[in-house]
Amino acid sequence: MRVITHCPACHAQFFATEEQLNKHGGKVRCGQCLQIFDAKSQLVPVTTDNIQDTSITSITFQDIMSPADVSNTDEKSPTSDIATNAAATTAIHTDINTSNLKQTSEANKTGGITRQQPSYVDDAVKKSKLSRKNIAFLSRRWLWAFACLVLVLTAFISSIYFLRNEIAIYYPKLKPYLLKACQQISCNIELPKNIELIVIDDSDMQEDAEHSGLIRFTSKLINTGSYFLQYPNLELTLTDVDDKPVLRRIFKPEEYLALDSNIADGFGAGDEVTITLAITTSDIAVAGYRVFVTY
């Protein structure tokens, strides 16, 4: 048969059997405050309410005092009981701490409490992502570098194409290569036209004494520039005694230059060209002349 007793120190209630109470003369230790008391003298009347009360704890074997504890209890004073309770409490806490440390050590060994280890998988994933980003960045960089190189080459070739005439002027040694390139793409290299750099010098016109109606015109053209020029056209105007034009004609380079002249090479810088023309007037009276160069 079970009975209910309570601790006079903390008023905690416990279930106990008659066998447990008779084993040590009713001496037991409270499981809450560790106070030793006589359970028989602290019995509580049994009712339906307190039987169903779940807060009442059953007294286990450890709660029952041993014979040595009982004899020591009778001899000790209240002061020694308090010291004993405090020492017991300290011992229990020490046992609990030691037990916890042992459990923690065993759990660490068996894997119950696992320490967080470095995640090598995450590191590998991060490195893989970084590697892919680096590869993508390098690919884009090489693509931009290739595009820039193509743009530079395109600009360089375009500049040569549109400035081919100027290149041939200032770098005559490159002109043969430019001519070969122009043959492939059906372009040509034109010599510059700058009429201000061409000077007419020492001009004269006389009747031919041996041939009636024949007039001989002589002149000299000088290129005062520092580069080759295209040969100009020569415009000759004959005038009467009133200085009115009666005859006018334009002579092209192939008409006033010598037969062995290379017109395509152009009028060299500082060169002089002597012009000699024979003109018939068809019985028109001529008293003077005017000569111009033009393109």
Domain range list for the chain: 2-108, 195-294
What is the pLDDT, as a whole number, of residue 81? 46
Which of 28, 24, 33 lies closest to 4 in space, CA to CA? 28
Band the pLDDT of 149: cuts 50, 70, 90.
very high
User: What's the chain's average pLDDT?
Assistant: 77
Tell me the longest C-alpha to C-alpha distance in the chain.
178
Average pLDDT over residues 5-30: 82
Lowest mean pLDDT among 17-31, 62-76, 95-109: 62-76
- List the beta bridge partners of residue 4: 15, 44
CA atoms within 13 A on the CB side of 105: 6
Give the integer Cα–Cα distance in Å for 82 and 247.
152
What is the pLDDT, as a whole number, of residue 271? 95
Give the integer Cα–Cα distance in Å for 203 and 205.
7
Q: What percent of the chain stands above pLDDT 90? A: 33
Best-predicted range by mean pLDDT (11-20, 35-44, 74-83, 232-241): 232-241
The amino acid at 102: K
Cβ atoms of residues 10 and 35 within 8 Å = yes
Cβ atoms of residues 167 and 191 within 8 Å = no
Strands 272-280 and 233-239: unpaired
Phi/psi at 31 (5° precision): -75, -10
- pTM of the predicted structure, to 2 decimals: 0.46
Question: Which of the pair, 150 or 12, is modelled with greater confidence?
Answer: 150
What is the pLDDT, as a whole number, of residue 264? 84
Lowest mean pLDDT among 98-102, 195-199, 210-214, 271-275: 98-102
Band the pLDDT of 67: cuts 50, 70, 90.
very low
Band the pLDDT of 74: cuts 50, 70, 90.
very low
Give the integer Cα–Cα distance in Å for 234 and 220.
11
Give the integer Cα–Cα distance in Å for 112 and 94.
23
Q: What share of the chain is helix, strand, coil (3-state, %, to 5)?
A: 45, 25, 30
Question: Which of the pair, 199 or 176, is modelled with greater confidence?
Answer: 199
Question: Which of the pair, 84 or 121, is modelled with greater confidence?
Answer: 121
Number of neighbours of residue 38 by Cβ within 10 angstroms: 16
CATH code that applies to domain 195-294: 2.60.40.3230
Give the integer Cα–Cα distance in Å for 233 and 292.
8
